Structure 1
Amino acid sequence: MTRTEYPWLLPSAMAGPELPGDRGRSRRTVRDWVVDLTAFLCAAGIGLATLATIEADPTTSDTFVLVDSLVGAAACCALWFRRRWPVGLAVALTLLSTVEPVAAGALLVALFSVAVHRPFRPVVLVGALALAVVPVQPYLRPDPNTSFLASTIIGLLLILLVLSWGMVVRSRRQLVVSLRERAVRAETEAALRAEQAQRLAREEIAREMHDVLAHRLTLLSVHAGALEFRPDAPPAEVARAAGVIRDSAHEALQDLREIIGVLRGPRDSDGNRPQPTLATLDALVAESREAGMKVTLDNRLADPGAVPAAPGRTVYRIAQEALTNARKHAPGTEVTVAVTGGPGQGITVEVRNPAPTEPFTPVPGSGQGLIGLTERATLAGGRLDHGPAPDGGFEVRAWLPWAS
């Protein structure tokens, strides 16, 4: 087994992602000032408690107390440099604590900083040094109230506790950074997928435009060329050719409008298959009911058959996709389909479903259907909005133009 075969065994993989504070900061934030001040006060509090114990010993001279006070104050003040030089400061305080018990609080804070801001290897080295010199300080300056063994054990436990706590904090921060990076990457990938879906939809439109308009434009070219070739043709023949040109141009314009309003791929282009319209919306709802769905249709259009083919087909596709999504993501709920509008004011279609109340196994989806519907409605001159409803359900609302 080699490390190249198992990349998670590499030191970079074991260390985890780098944290923002690992390389220090040129300027402290408000949070940094608060944390540094808290660390300084904790170290000073431990130092003052130790100094009080030293003063209580009648065998200790005032000179030793004064030196201990100055050295302890200097060690606490040195903690303000722990962000820039955490390892060097921890090593210096480790060596200082062997002869100066008042620096113990500053040492614990420095070791915690190393565990938080440095990877595993330097933490192990500094921690091993600190653990190795623990027995030196109680041997050189024993505490009259505590035995040598007890002082050594307490020192070992405190160092292990501080290092473990710091490594846990670092691991948690690395986890948060990793999750944040993963979320950003997922959002970027989703945006790329949406962009790709829109590009594919436009390519389908372009292919359909070529297939449908090529025949119409060819007729226009043929008849226009005939008029150019025979300018002296009889008036009846000229009128007949002009009529064909006019009809072909009108049909080409109608086809172009329908293609712009409908996103339909070549695999769906079956000329013998009747295209759905708003008049067939009842059949769609009946089919959904036969499949076991609870669907309520509120069609307030006086004459659905009078709706133009392009917007009617778009309304049908929107309702079809919304019912499919409700069947996949909210089974057992009652779906409401409402269609309102009229000539001059456009057509509005709303499909709503409440949040599911019974447990179910969700069906995975790519979300490309809603993207295609949005593109379809936009290219038809309308708009489409979708998203969670206030009651926890889901709502799809679209508006399409209907000329008077």
Structure 2
Amino acid sequence: MNAATPPEPRRRRSARDWAVDLAMFLLAVGFGLMVIADPGQSPHGPIGPDARRDLPLWLAVTEQLVAFAGCAALWWRRSRPVGIAVVLVVLSGVSALIAGAMLIALFSLAVHRPPKVSLSVFGLAVGASFLHSALWPDPFVPLFVDFLLGVAILGTVTGWGLTVHHRRKLVESLRDRAVHAEAEARLRAEQAQHQVREAIAREIHDVLGHRLSMLSVHAGALEYRPDASSEEVARSASVIRESAHQALQDLREVIGVLRAPVGELPQPTLADLEQLVEEADHVGARVELVRDHEGTVPERVGRTVYRVVQEALTNVRKHAAGADTLVRVAGAPGEGLTVEVRNGPASAPRPPGPVDGAGQGLVGLAERLSLASGRLEYGPTDGGGWRLSAWLPWPA
């Protein structure tokens, strides 16, 4: 069973509302007093010199009390515009004293309710106008002309109210659009910030992960083999020192990329792949590079290939220390470029300590390839090793 919808909170009148309501009340009362002071006049013209003077006293007093009650009802025209407008329209058909309050109620109805409702009450007001013209005929103006004059007044008031109604709806629509546009702009900004953070995380992981993995491998080897010779300790210390120096250089480049305009600083390309493989080979990974492609590889594709090989070699050092590794790059324009990194089983014990960030590099690599419209495949091989393969489009 659905819960009952809670009623909307009542809107409190502002100082402007009080001023407008008081003005409308006084205007309606003033119109009625004008008719009482000049009983030979109706809202449309003279109705005969003795028409209203011949009314019985009780009927005249009742008419005045009803007219005053109708004027007082205008204070609630915002909360109950339909009911008040209908009652005043019906009473205006028999009493000229309430015509002013009826016009104000008709205007308020057109402002606060949909056009379909206000036009329906307008039709009722047209009928009441005809009844009033028939009950209080003007001896100097034909009935049809008097009726058309009343309809013109009703149409003007209703049209004015509809104009105000549509203008308010337009302002509300523009305000809602502005709110939605602001929310969408804030959402786009958050998404852009999220994408930038992801790009920074991938760049830091790709650039620093390679260097820091070499530091971890050699530092772990020194800890694992306390009986190593002085030559091996010196060699590992040299690699650690060189890797730390390169890591600092890479960190400065990453910070520079964040501070400088996009594309201002140089990025690695396919031409730097030999140096990457040579560095990995120097630390005992035994890496072989085979290049079998034609033509000049696009800069973006070459940079992505470099990152793929860099991440793959980092994973080999982490999970398969000392394994023989083959890096193969092949392809041609129009066919795409394929890079494959295949390693055998580990030939050296893994350094002690946990492996940080396991799996995050492959996730970032998959995102990088997805942005370049490429594909990534990886998994174990039959010989106990690991294979990572990526394909990138190479336009003809």
Coarse TM-score class (shorter-chain normalised): 0.5 to 0.7
User: Once the two structures are aligned, what percentage of the paired residues are identical?
Assistant: 51
C-alpha spacing 1:61/1:163, structure 2 compared with 1 (3 Å): same
Distance 1:43 1:176 in 2: 30
Selected match of 1:271 from 264, 268, 292: 268
Selected match of 1:33 from 15, 18, 22: 18
After TM superposition, the structure 1 = structure 2 runs for residues 66-215 of structure 1, keeping only pairs within 5 Å, are 66-143=61-138, 147-215=142-210
Distance 2:221 2:64 in 1: 110
1:131-174 Cα offsets, whole Å, 9 max, x none, are 12211112213356655334322211111111111111000000
Distance 2:61 2:92 in 1: 16
Selected match of 1:49 from 8, 11, 34: 34
- Cα distance, 1:255 vs. partner? 2.1
Question: CA contact under 8 A between 1:24 and 1:84: conserved in structure 2?
Answer: no
Distance 1:265 1:229 in 2: 43
1:290-332 Cα offsets, whole Å, 9 max, x none, are xxxxxxxxxxxxxxxxxxxxxxxxxxxxxxxxxxxxxxxxxxx
Distance 1:73 1:159 in 2: 21
Q: Which one-letter code corresponds to 1:157 in the other structure? A: A
Question: CA contact under 8 A between 1:208 and 1:259: conserved in structure 2?
Answer: yes
- Cα distance, 1:214 vs. partner? 2.3
C-alpha spacing 1:146/1:39, structure 2 compared with 1 (3 Å): farther
Q: Aligned residue for 1:355?
A: none
Partner SS state of residue 201, structure 1:
helix
Q: Aligned residue for 1:359?
A: none
- Cα distance, 1:110 vs. partner? 0.8
Q: Aligned residue for 1:245?
A: 240
- Cα distance, 1:77 vs. partner? 0.7
Q: How many pairs were matched up?
A: 251
Distance 1:257 1:52 in 2: 93
Partner SS state of residue 39, structure 2:
helix
Q: Which one-letter code corresponds to 1:207 in the other structure? A: R
- Cα distance, 1:54 vs. partner? 1.1
Distance 2:70 2:220 in 1: 98
1:224-251 Cα offsets, whole Å, 9 max, x none, are 2331343223334423422321332233
Distance 1:37 1:145 in 2: 36
1:181-224 Cα offsets, whole Å, 9 max, x none, are 00111111111111111111111111111211222122112212
- Cα distance, 1:94 vs. partner? 1.2
C-alpha spacing 1:172/1:236, structure 2 compared with 1 (3 Å): same
**Normalized against structure 1, the TM-score is what?**
0.56
- Cα distance, 1:258 vs. partner? 3.2
Structure 1 gap ranges (5+): 1-22, 275-404
Distance 1:190 1:92 in 2: 49
Question: CA contact under 8 A between 1:68 and 1:100: conserved in structure 2?
Answer: yes
Selected match of 1:225 from 217, 220, 224: 220
Structure 2 gap ranges (5+): 1-7, 42-48, 272-396
Q: Aligned residue for 1:305?
A: none
1:51-89 Cα offsets, whole Å, 9 max, x none, are 233167445147255444323212111111211211111
Distance 1:204 1:55 in 2: 87
C-alpha spacing 1:24/1:93, structure 2 compared with 1 (3 Å): farther
C-alpha spacing 1:91/1:84, structure 2 compared with 1 (3 Å): same
- Cα distance, 1:273 vs. partner? 10
Partner SS state of residue 129, structure 2:
coil
Distance 1:188 1:273 in 2: 43
Question: CA contact under 8 A between 1:86 and 1:110: conserved in structure 2?
Answer: yes
RMSD over aligned CA atoms reads 2.8
Question: CA contact under 8 A between 1:55 and 1:65: conserved in structure 2?
Answer: no
Partner SS state of residue 54, structure 1:
coil
Distance 1:173 1:69 in 2: 36
Q: Which one-letter code corresponds to 2:119 in the other structure? A: V
Distance 1:270 1:48 in 2: 89
Distance 1:93 1:159 in 2: 13
- Cα distance, 1:260 vs. partner? 4.0
